[in-house]
Amino acid sequence: MIEFCHISKSFRTDFWARPINALTDVSFQLSSKEVTGFLGANGSGKTTTLKILMHFISASAGEVVYAPELGKTFLEIVSNIGYMPERPYFYSNLTGREFLFYMGSLNEVKMPLLRERVSRWGERLQIAHALDRKINNYSKGMLQRLGLVSILLHGPQLLILDEPLSGVDPIGRKEMKAALDEIHKEGKTIFFSSHIVPDIEEICTSVVVLEEGKVRYSGPVDALLGRNSNKKEGPSLEDMVYKLGKLP
Ligand SMILES: Nc1ncnc2c1ncn2[C@@H]1O[C@H](COP(=O)(O)OP(=O)(O)OP(=O)(O)O)[C@@H](O)[C@H]1O
Ligand SMILES: [Mg+2]
C-alpha cells in the first residue's frame, strides 16, 4: 500500500554544525490490510519517517510511493489516511464532542454519518461518557482515546499512529488494542509506532525495526521469530529485537 524507497533525511540545525542524519537509506513496504508495528529506541527516526510519509517534511533523498488505491492526488491520498501525531493538539476549551464534530466537519463528513461515528467510536474507545466535558479536564489516556476517535471519523483506509498507546493505563491499553484489532478486521491498514514490544507482538503481523535511522528488520513478526504462524512458542519479539540491537 505504501513503499518507502531509499529514504534519507538529514537535519541541519545550524550552518556551521554537522547535519544530523536522522534516516539513512530506509526502505520498507506497508502491506494492505495488515497491522504493522514500528519499533525503535528514542531518536531512532520513527516520527521523522511518519512525518515524511504525511508530507509534513520532505526527505533529503528517496521517495515514498503510494498505491493507486489510496488516491491519485496527494489530497485524495491524505483524505484516506487517519494520522495521529506523537503529541496531538486539542482545543482544550471545547468539549470532546465539540472537538469531534469540528474535526469531522473539517474532513467534510456529513452530519448524520458524523453523529453515528462519534457515537460508535466514542462507545468503542470508552470515551463516550466524557464527551460533554471540556477537554482541559481530560487525563492523558482520555486524550489518546479522543485522538483516536477523531481520526476515525472520515472512515480512512490507512491509520498512521505515532505512539497511540503511550500514557494509557494497562486496562486502557488492552481496550485500545482490542479496538485496533476490530478496526483491522474491518479491512483497514494500520501502521503504528510503540516502545512497548509485547503490544506490537500482540496485535501486529509485520514489524519494522529501526536502529539509529537504519532499518534492522522489516517483514512478518513470525519470520523474525523463526516460527510458523500456528506455533506460539520460541523466543519473544522482545528477545529478538534486543538481539537485533546487538548486531554490529
Ligand atoms: N526538526 C528537527 N531538527 C533537528 N533534528 C531533528 C528534528 N526532528 C528530529 N530530529 C532528530 O532526528 C532524530 C530522530 O528523531 P525522531 O523524532 O524521528 O525519533 P523517534 O524515533 O520518533 O524518537 P522517540 O521514540 O523519542 O519519539 C533525532 O536525533 C532527533 O534529534
Ligand atoms: Mg517519536
pLDDT value at residue 166: 86
**Count of H-run helices and E-run strands, the chain:** 9, 9
**Rounded Cα distance, 116 and 69, in Å:** 26
Query: In 3D, which of 183, 240, 187, 192 has the Cα closest to residue 216?
Result: 240
Entry pTM? 0.92
Cα–Cα distance list, 194 to 111, 152, 197, 198, 208 (Å)? 34, 19, 7, 10, 11
The reported pLDDT for the residue numbered 168 is 84
Residues with CB under 6 A from ligand 1: 11, 13, 20, 22, 40, 42-48, 86
**Left, alpha or beta for 157 (phi > 0: left; psi -120 to 50: alpha)?**
alpha
- Which residues are registered as beta bridge partners of 81? 158
Which 8-state DSSP code applies to residue 79? T
Residues contacting 92, CB < 8 A, separation 6+: 134, 135, 136
Supply the pLDDT for residue 176: 86
Query: Which residue's C-alpha comes closest to atom 2 of ligand 1?
Result: 11
Residue of 48, 54, 84, 160 to mutate, ligand 1, most atoms within 8 A of C-beta: 48
CA distance 205 to 4: 18
Chain position carrying cell 496485535: 203
Burial (Cβ within 10 Å: 0-12, 13-18, ≥19) of residue 72: exposed
Ligand 1 closest atom vs CA 45: 18
Distance CA 74, CA 84 (A): 18
CA of 11 to the centre of ligand 1 (A): 9
Which element (helix H / strand E) includes 210?
A: strand 206-211
Beta strands 214-220 and 35-39, pairing class: unpaired
pLDDT at residue number 248: 45
Q: Whose CA is nearest to atom 25 of ligand 1?
A: 42
Grid coordinates of 95: 468539549
Residue by residue, pLDDT tens for the chain (248 residues) are: 999 999 999 998 888 888 899 999 999 999 999 999 999 989 999 999 999 999 999 999 999 999 999 999 999 999 999 999 988 889 999 999 999 999 999 999 999 999 999 999 999 888 999 999 999 999 888 998 999 999 999 999 999 999 998 878 888 888 889 889 989 999 999 999 998 888 888 899 999 999 999 999 999 988 877 766 555 566 777 777 777 765 54
